[in-house]
Structure 1
Amino acid sequence: MKALQINTVCGTGSTGRIASDIHKMLIEQGHESVVAYGRGTAYNCDNTIKIGNNLDFYIHALKTRILDEHGFGSKNATRKFIERVKNYNPDIIHLHNVHGYYINIDLLFNFLKEYNKPIIWTLHSCWAFTGHCSHFDYANCYKWETHCQKCPQKTSFPKSIFIDNSYNNFEKKKKLFTGLDKLTLVTPSEWLAKLVKRSFLKDYTVKVINNGIDLSVFKPSPSNFRKRYNLENKFIILGVANKWEKRKGFEYFIELSKLIEPDETIVMVGLSKSALKQLPKNIIGITRTNNVQELAEIYTSADVFFNPTLEDNFPTTNLEALACGTPVITFNTGGSIETIDDTTGFIVEKGDLEQAIKTIRKIKTEGKEKYSESCIKRANKYYNKNNKFQEYIELYEERMNEFNVSNQI
């Protein structure tokens, strides 16, 4: 088969790594594969198409900031890209994030309707069925179930400074994203799948394929981390995020630091330099690291992983902690609660730090070892990325057979 994936980035970030890993698996199985991306540099992928350039990106971002028309810039870049797609003539197209200031969804989806080949679209957020935002939990806004307007998150990603165009965006998305006869939606969590069925995308088939992680890297990994940071006799509460912000629970760690005992410490990974300056003395801050081996060592060194996220789809940080043998405590948010069971972690109500600290002390009293084996088993059984990406390839073949698309190697 000839497969084409489209995403904001390639080989970096969670969605970019998913795209490049699926690409690698397709090539290994004798198929043809191309990944198209719009931003940055492609990594770990030997056959790519770059959509647009830096100028296209900045103009698209400016249009979003001023007019709140995210997804409706990059016209020339998208026209040129569509010509390259026609020349490649893929049997199946897999969309990931089509937001991110790089592609024109009007041109893209009208082309896809004409192209009439099987389309897989993995929704990594809620952006596809809202008039503006990528997540609505933090604002507790459910206007998308009927019709978006007067968006309470206008200034959140994709940020608009002046105009609220959420009503028109909702109308346009609904028209563009519906009516594709051969579209199948994929969500990483049951939570998001249920939301899709309450949105204007409800008539599409939705398949759940959980995110996966590299278990050859994320596994119990002894190191000198505790000695290096003088934590040899400390109970470590770990937090990890790609970007720390309010919705990821940054402020809850600051509040938690006021409740911990002298023999306990908090380690936060993924902090910016400005965030590091805000930390109290009993929080050890570590900037973002692309060294996954180092990250596995930190997960292994921790006694508990705390994820006070306020909105999330299916966080891979939970999976990485489990694979390293560390139990997880998460707020009752989105698909985060689907990553654990009662032998591998605990769910506490959103914002309830009193319950969180009691749960942390429970793990402290019982010992991490009580949970570690179950954590590792769960990660190996459900979250091996090779198994998850094979599910995608099997879905490609299933849909191609269903729509009688030739599948030749």
Structure 2
Amino acid sequence: MKILHISVSDKIGGAAIAAFRLNRAMLAAGWNSKLLVLYKRSIDEDVISVTKYKTKAFYYVGRAINYLLNKYVLKPIYMYSSALWGIRVCHRQELQEADIIYVHWINNDFLSIKELKRILCTNKKVIFFMHDMWTITGGCHYSFDCDKYKIKCQNCLYLRGHVVDMALYVFKKKYKLLTPCQNLFFVTPSTWLGDCVKQSALFGNKKIKIIPNIIDTHIFKSIDQGVARSLLGLPMEKKLILFGADAGTANPYKGWSYLKEALIKVQMTNVEIVVFGNKLPKEEEKEISYVVHSVGRLNDEYSLSLLYNAVDLFITPSLADNFPNTILEALACSTPVVAFNTGGIPDLVRHKVTGYLAEYKSSISLAQGIEWVLAHLTDDAFIDSMKEYTKNYLSEKKVLDKHKVFIEEILSSNE
């Protein structure tokens, strides 16, 4: 059995990393698996890049057109992809030889809706591995409070008003080209997103499986905190809170304003902040009145694992998220997490078991979560329950077994 994963990249973005890890895990288990990408950053031989100059040139023309479209159509704080342009991949040998095709995150004008239709017309079994809501909407990646995708996307709240209703146009295109296909199946890593698919007007009748993202627990695992802090040059005696600030303070999805308010409300001393990714702006540091340690961008998984082990708590105040790799990584290192109760986060952050689920958009609840976790770091029952849960839930073998069972169901079906 030959498997082909398709993703815009192998390393750029959380969805790309999830696709790369799944492909690598399948290879390690002896599966025949490859990953086809537009942008390749790894050196893995089983990751194939679309490198032809003509193909790339066509892609950049599409990017330029979409840039102009988004500049005048999209409200800048939201993420929207029309997928009206893209490049051709259905003719590639890797795709023609595959028995199962996993389609991951293919936006940023990598694949168009028409190209997805062409792939489905090969009669291959296609699994859309959803990393956000784009597949079931008129183009937005997270609908927040809008539930039009359950009936018909139109007059999108996140688009500027224009003569052409872009959301309705894209929604109809998906409905016409993709919905009738009987060889299309779905995997989502979170229960929340699975429920969204089941309620969607586009694909509510399709076969769907909830399978968590995979992680290499040989890399992301618990090690001595003192050793990790020593190697990273972090203080030994402080309570350290980790926050990822990769565009975090400017990105409305990341909830920085709520975290900033929460940190001001935290009634604990001896606490310092560790930031990875981008540095916090100086004015933001002054507003929270904490010592901030910036470790910059960590581009390898071993350094990331070291960082999660060095801190006492990882906090992610995202306002919209599916199944964050950062939470997965932290928990695999036995580091508790505080996050808002939204999206697919509750599948990972079990309240007072693997961390603390704060009330959505409540900085007070977020502060209470930080205080609760820091106060229970020496609680054996809490630590043991967290380790037991993550051990059972994050097992690489169990995740691969779920994919195997689903693939066997698909191949044996008459669809």
TM superposition score category, shorter chain reference: 0.7 to 0.9
TM-score when normalising by structure 2:
0.84
8 Å CA contact 1:254, 1:279 repeated in 2: no
> What's the CA shift string for 1:80-104, capped at 9, x where partnerless?
x222248733222111123221122
SS in 2 for 1:215: coil
Who is 1:179 aligned against?
180
Separation in structure 2 between the aligned mates of residue 118 and residue 276 of structure 1, nearest angstrom: 51
Aligned residue type for 1:122: F
Aligned to 2:303, which of 281, 285, 294?
294
Q: Deviations over 1:18-53 (max 9, x none)?
A: 433443454455554332212344543425251765
1:115 to 104, 119, 122: 122
Name 1:407's counterpart in structure 2.
none
The 8 Å contact of residues 120 and 184 in structure 2, kept in 1 or not, is answered as no
In structure 2, the residue matched to 1:149 is: 154
Among candidates 345, 355, 377, match of residue 367 of structure 1: 377
Distance 1:320 1:33, change over 3 A: closer
Report the secondary structure of 1:290's partner residue: coil
Which residue in the other structure is 2:85 paired with? Answer: 73
Q: Percent identity?
A: 26
CA deviations on 1:285-341 (whole Å, 9 max, x unpaired) are 332211222222222222222221101111122222222222222111111011132
Gaps in structure 2 of 5+ consecutive residues:
71-80
1:253 has 2:259 as partner: yes
Contact in 1 for aligned 2:21/2:214 (Cα 8 Å): no
**Separation in structure 1 between the aligned mates of residue 194 and residue 335 of structure 2, nearest angstrom:** 28
Distance 1:258-1:6 versus aligned 2 partners, 3 A rule: same
Deviation of 1:250 after TM superposition, in Å, equals: 2.1
Q: Is 1:232 paired with 2:218?
A: no
Corresponding position of 1:339: 348
Give SS of 1:257's match.
helix
Partner of residue 75, structure 2: none
Q: Deviations over 1:320-371 (max 9, x none)?
A: 2222222222111111011132322221111212122223222333334533
1:203 corresponds to which residue?
205
Q: Which amino acid aligns with 1:8?
A: V
Equivalents in 2 of 1:123, 1:207: separation in Å? 11
1:72: how far off?
1.7
Which of 109, 113, 118 is residue 101 of structure 1 equivalent to?
A: 109
Q: Distance in 1 between matches of 2:300 and 2:95?
A: 38
Q: Which amino acid aligns with 2:9?
A: V
Equivalent position SS for 2:326: helix
In structure 2, C-alpha distance between the alignment counterparts of 1:230 and 1:6, rounded to whole Å: 39
Aligned residue number for residue 62 of structure 1:
64
Letter aligned with residue 195 of structure 1: C
* Residue aligning to 1:393: 404
**Structure 1 residues 67 and 376 mapped into 2: Cα distance closer, same or farther (>3 Å)?**
same
SS state at 1:197 partner: helix
Q: CA deviation at 1:201?
A: 0.8
Spell out, residue by residue over 1:205-242, the C-alpha distance to the aligned partner (whole angstroms, 9 max, x if none).
11000112211111122335268655333222222365
Q: How far apart are the structure 2 equivalents of 1:131 and 1:112?
A: 20
Which residue is equivalent to 2:325?
316
Contact map agreement 2:349 2:355 (CA 8 A) in 1:
yes
Cross-structure match for 1:377? 388
Q: State the alpha-carbon separation in 2 of the partners of residues 306 and 86 from structure 1.
A: 40
Partner of 1:9: 9
1:20 aligned onto 2:20? yes
- Following superposition, the deviation at residue 274 of structure 1 comes to 7.1
Question: 1:48 is matched with which residue?
Answer: 48
Matched, 1:35 2:41: no
Distance of aligned partners of 1:71 and 1:132 in 2 relative to their CA distance in 1, 3 Å threshold: same
Q: Deviations along 1:53-86, whole A, 9 cap, x unmatched?
A: 5433322222223335731213xx31xx222248
Q: Aligned pair in 2 of structure 1 residues 320, 34: CA closer, same or farther (>3 Å)?
A: closer
Matched, 1:135 2:142: yes
Per-residue CA shift, 1:170-199, capped at 9, x if unaligned? 111122220111221111011001111111
Counterpart secondary structure, 1:375: helix
3-state DSSP of counterpart to 2:347: helix
CA distance in 2, matches of 1:181, 1:97: 21
Contact 2:105 2:131 in 1 (8 A): yes
Deviation at 1:161, TM superposition (A): 11
Normalized against structure 1, the TM-score is what?
0.85
* Gap change, CA 1:202 and 1:377, over 3 Å in 2: same
Q: Aligned to 1:325, which of 313, 334, 347?
A: 334
The corresponding residue for 2:214 is: 212
Q: What amino acid is aligned across from residue 259 of structure 2 in structure 1?
A: F
Q: Aligned pair count?
A: 392
Q: In the alignment, which of 353, 359, 362 is matched to residue 352 of structure 1?
A: 362
